[in-house]
Amino acid sequence: MSMHQIGHKVSFADMKTKLPQESWMYTQNEAHNGEFEAEEVWLHSGDLHISELLLDEGPFLILVEGNLTVDRYIGNTSSDAASSNLVVLGNLITPYMIVGGQEIYITGNLYVEDMFWGDYNHGELTVRGNVEGGLLVSTDQYTIQVQGQRNVKRQIEEWEDLGPWRGFDMLALLVPECVIDEDTEPFPWREEMLKRLQQGQPVINRKYIHADESEPDAPDWFEDHRITAENIERLTHPSLLPVREEDELLNSYEFWLDEQFCRVSVYGDEHTEGYFRSLYFQDDHNCALLLKMEPSDQGSNSPDKHIVQPGEPVWMISGAYRYLNNEKSEWNVFSENSPADIQQLSEQGWSTLLQSVSNYQYARSLISHQLIHDLLALPVVEPYDDYYDDDRHGLWIGELYYAFRQAGQMSDGVPQPAMLRIGREYKDTQGEKQVEKYYYTLHQHEDGTESVLIEYSAQKDEDEEEEPVLLELHYIGGSQLLHAVHLLEHGRKVLIQANEDLLNGELPYAAESFAKRFWKSKGYLK
């Protein structure tokens, strides 16, 4: 892979005024008495279109006074001290950049269709415009500075970041020939990557450039989607309702999904006076709709009720609506002649509810409640016995942060259910710090069954005063629900391994002193 001369040869002293004055080469030369003045530069005037650009054997600097398009790749085999720096006074377009050890400065936009990989702290990329494309990878403290927007599919700061949070690992991302996977952790083989790119062969599995958006195959829990007594009975089944509080007659579950709110309630039982089942829908336009189902002997003379006879007993379904932006707004009888926005709320609310409950029934089949019980009972977890204490709620194990809440812990005087939380900190595609967490909470139902609720939150800084919004993935479903399940499986293995290491005398790296004392007192450590 020899390098062909680009443009004509000049000295650094002859062309330094063409450089961006904030570039490292310019400022370094000015600050150190012209140390680069005699260095060789290849200068190309105007736009340049070439098949490949290898930066290993060339001059001190390649300067393109226009746009640069490279069909196959830009790269160098050694990231410690690459030979050639690169400045483009325009846009740069190429499918691959595998670089490190030099300064790359682009005054326009950078478009890398498949992957930019910068490695090692001796190198840096500066882009005045936008960066667009597939993967943006920076490893071993490689510096990426983008003054515009980062419109990339995925950003990876270290190869170790690959795994459950990304939905794939290095062995899945790179073709097998480009990974050295021997006794130690696998690592990418730069030379083989460049060799394959020169031959026009792939080095990555392109499907992993895009986030995994495979949707779960959640079975439809309803035989039909009509508003019937059978379906309302199914929606209010004890396997969906939480455990009823003592002396409470009303029992319900509820959720927001986008701008749609749904609440399902049961008052009393069939032997209680005033017994009913109800569905309540509300949207972001301040429309509210209440559908109510009662035994037919409770006010069967009311003209606004429609009798449905699925069998015994006979049920009556009625509806009422109102507008919430007016406190004096009265409830009005819901019928086929109701306003269009109320009709739309009925259709959308009912459809959202059926799909969400089907997602819920599917989600509860994905994670065993016993798994959460078992993880919370591990010796490595025991000293972390106060979820609401800054120190005693959890610990870091590798890239994952685990927090633990045992059943019955009090919050504002209310006992809370058992819960495992897995979180991490990372930088998004704009280089901003983000904190995201998945919650796996044990939930008791009225029929005595137990399931795992799966929730997600994200925020820029964990120290923010405002509580992050929890997304109820068990109702939302979708690809993120599957991701939560895969993450838990990975997190389970990491936590169990940490527990085995503890019992073999090896402490978790980030364990606090109070936890160490506890483990010693229990005989887990000698």
What is the Cα–Cα distance from 436 to 423, expressed in whole angstroms? 6
Average pLDDT, integer, range 314-336: 89
Flag the least confident range among 64-68, 155-159, 336-340, 514-518: 155-159
Q: Which residue has the higher pLDDT, 272 or 37?
A: 37
In order of 186, 324, 350, the CA distances from 353 in angstroms are 46, 21, 5
With 0-12 CB in 10 A as exposed, 13-18 as middle and 19+ as buried, what is 13?
Answer: middle
Nearest Cα residue to 216 out of 455, 484, 477? 477
Q: What is the pLDDT of residues 160-183, one digit of tens each?
A: 767 666 666 777 788 889 888 876
252 - beta bridge partners?
A: 265
Separation of CA 328 from chain center: 43
Amino acid, single-letter form, for residue 389: D
Q: What is the mean pLDDT of the chain?
A: 89
Q: Measured between alpha carbons, how far is 27 from 82 in angstroms, rounded to an integer? A: 19
- 386/405 Cα distance (integer angstroms): 7
Cβ contact 448:476 at 8 Å = no
Q: What is the DSSP letter of 16?
A: G
Statement: residue 307 has pLDDT above 50: no
**Surface-to-core class of residue 521, CB atoms within 10 Å of its CB (0-12 exposed, 13-18 middle, 19+ buried):** exposed
For 421-456, how does the pLDDT look when each residue is reduced to its tens digit (9 = 90+)? 999 887 666 667 888 899 999 999 999 999 999 999
Residue 304 has pLDDT above 50, yes or no: no
Edge to edge, the sheet with strand 450-459 lists: 394-397, 400-405, 419-427, 433-444, 450-459, 471-472
pLDDT band, residue 90 (cuts 50/70/90):
very high
Q: What is the pLDDT of residue 308?
A: 45
At 303, the pLDDT band (50, 70, 90 cuts) reads very low
Q: Please tell me the distance from the alpha carbon of residue 478 to that of residue 358, in angstroms, as a whole number.
A: 12
Query: pLDDT-based confidence at 210, cuts 50/70/90?
Result: low
Which residues, in sequence order, are bridge partners of residue 261? 256, 282
Confidence check: pLDDT of 213 > 60 = no
State how far the alpha carbon of 102 is from the alpha carbons of 5, 29, 272, 328, in Å: 18, 15, 79, 70
Spatial distance between the Cα atoms of 11 and 375, rounded to a whole number of angstroms: 65
Closest to 440 (Cα-Cα) out of 355, 363, 523: 363
CA distances from 445 to 239, 245, 251, 256 (A): 6, 11, 11, 20
pLDDT at position 165 is 62
Please report the beta strands in 328-373, taking only residues with DSSP state E, as ranges in sequence order: 332-333
Where do the DSSP E strands lie in 55-122? 61-65, 68-75, 85-88, 92-99, 103-106, 110-119
| Least confident span in 275-284, 321-330, 408-417 | 321-330
Is residue 298 predicted with pLDDT exceeding 60?
Answer: no
Instruction: Measure the CA–CA gap between 282 and 325, rounded to whole angstroms.
Output: 12
The pTM for the full model equals 0.68
Show the tokens assigned to 518. Answer: 């506890």
Which tokens go with 119?
Answer: 């490695």
Statement: residue 267 has pLDDT above 80: yes
Beta pairing, strands 332-333 & 306-308: unpaired
Mean pLDDT for 79-107 is: 92
Rounded Cα distance, 363 and 477, in Å: 7
Q: How confident is the model at residue 285 (pLDDT cuts 50, 70, 90)?
A: confident
Q: Strand locations in 234-273, DSSP E?
A: 250-257, 260-267
